[in-house]
Chains A and B, each alone.
Chain A
Amino acid sequence: MSDIPDQLTLKVNRDREGKRDVVARRIGVGVLIVVLALGLLNLFGQRPSTMTEDAEAATLEVYAPERVRGGLFYQARFTIEARREVREATLVLDPGWVEGITINTLAPGPVGEASRNGDLSFELGRIPAGDKHVFFLQLQVNPTNVGHRSQGVQLYDGDELLATIDRSITVFP
């Protein structure tokens, strides 16, 4: 019969007295499960959501994720359904749409692009009554861009404001 190996004690290494390692491990696994479940529930992005504003002159719909992660590619889709003729349809986006976010491409190419009081302005041209105009932005989040910012969208006919959608985006690291 040999004695217990050096540096081991029956209390600690056999009976595990005062040790909570199994409980701690179960809590750790529980935390992992919760984080993964939150991921499945879209807490960390990037499932798109739809926001719609029904105005008298037109309906504006934005389909884009509200939560994304650094480096991800994603798409924003803007749909305008004109109830009456919109002569100079202009989409105005908050700077949060491109702050730390790269625009890979936009389609169809707008008639003109400009800055409107610091916001991004895309002139889409004429939309006849009853017609639909769909505008796509293909975007990628810059990896160092983390935080929460406004991504409001406004639809104008020239200088006349037709519809507004207030939304925001959260970028996870």
Chain B
Amino acid sequence: MDIVLRAVVLFLFVWFVTRAVGRRELSTLEPFDLILLVVLGDLIQQGVTQNDFSVTGAILAGGTMALMTVLFSFLAFRFPKRIGPVLEGDPVILVERGRTIDRNLRRNRITLEELAAQARINAQIAHLDQIEWAVLETSGQISFIPSRS
């Protein structure tokens, strides 16, 4: 029983950490971030399984994690206005018709340099004033809609 409880607690902890840290930090997979994610996964795994090396234990822990993922997904789907934003966050507009929304950039710790780099990489946009809309999605990716002119 305790392995299921540990899996639930650590699932909630990982969710809490990802929400507290912010989506941008977790969506950019620089080599350091990648290593950090692997290390975090290893630390969490030890807390869940501890000295349990059994197949039963792995099934219980893995099954709990999978079920919690389904539960969160269902809640976000069933209550998109009330629970969805809490569990997954909202998209945030960063650029509106070529004009940056500095408050939103600052709140999400995104610099103009980073925004410009993402525009070049993801949308082949050379200048920020060529962006109609830039939106920080709930996945942490920034989507760009270029100006028509």
Is A4 an interface position by the 8 A CB rule? yes
Chain B residue at smallest Cβ distance from A71: B50
Contact B145 A2 (CB under 8 A): yes
Is A128 an interface position by the 8 A CB rule? no
Contact B20 A144 (CB under 8 A): no
A5-B145 in contact given A16-B104, A25-B20, A71-B51 (Cβ < 8 Å): yes
Is A148 an interface position by the 8 A CB rule? no
Contact A14 B93 (CB under 8 A): yes
For B20, what are the chain A residues with a Cβ–Cβ distance below 8 Å? 25, 28-29, 31-32
Stretch of B28-36, B70-78, B84-92, B112-120 contacting A (4+ beta carbons < 8 Å): B84-92
A:12-40 near B, CB below 8 Å: 12-14, 16, 19, 21-22, 24-25, 28-29, 31-32
Is B19 an interface position by the 8 A CB rule? yes
Bound together, the chains give a CA A4 to CA B94 distance in angstroms of 12
Q: How would residues 1 to 34 of chain B score, 1 for a CB under 8 Å from any chain A CB and 0 otherwise? A: 0100010000000001101111000000000000
Query: Size of chain A's interface in residues, with CB distance under 8 A?
Result: 25
Is B97 an interface position by the 8 A CB rule? yes
Bound together, the chains give a CA A14 to CA B95 distance in angstroms of 9
Is B148 an interface position by the 8 A CB rule? yes
For A2, what are the chain B residues with a Cβ–Cβ distance below 8 Å? 132-133, 145, 148
Contact B91 A8 (CB under 8 A): yes
A:134-169 near B, CB below 8 Å: 143-144
For B51, what are the chain A residues with a Cβ–Cβ distance below 8 Å? 71, 143
Contact B93 A8 (CB under 8 A): yes
Contact B133 A5 (CB under 8 A): yes
Contact A70 B50 (CB under 8 A): yes
Contact B22 A25 (CB under 8 A): yes
A13-B90 in contact given A5-B135, A8-B135, A71-B50 (Cβ < 8 Å): yes
For B90, what are the chain A residues with a Cβ–Cβ distance below 8 Å? 12-13, 16, 19, 21
CB distance from A59 to the nearest CB of B (A): 38
Contact A144 B2 (CB under 8 A): yes
Contact A16 B92 (CB under 8 A): yes
Q: How would residues 47 to 62 of chain B score, 1 for a CB under 8 Å from any chain A CB and 0 otherwise? A: 0001110000000000
Chain A residue at smallest Cβ distance from B91: A13
For B92, what are the chain A residues with a Cβ–Cβ distance below 8 Å? 13-14, 16
Bound together, the chains give a CA A70 to CA B6 distance in angstroms of 12
For A71, what are the chain B residues with a Cβ–Cβ distance below 8 Å? 50-51
Is A1 an interface position by the 8 A CB rule? yes
CB distance from B131 to the nearest CB of A (A): 11
Q: Residues of A at under 8 Å CB distance from B?
A: 1-2, 4-5, 7-8, 10, 12-14, 16, 19, 21-22, 24-25, 28-29, 31-32, 70-71, 143-144, 173
12 contacts between A and B (CB under 8 A): A2-B148, A14-B93, A14-B101, A16-B104, A21-B90, A22-B107, A24-B19, A25-B19, A28-B19, A29-B20, A31-B20, A32-B20
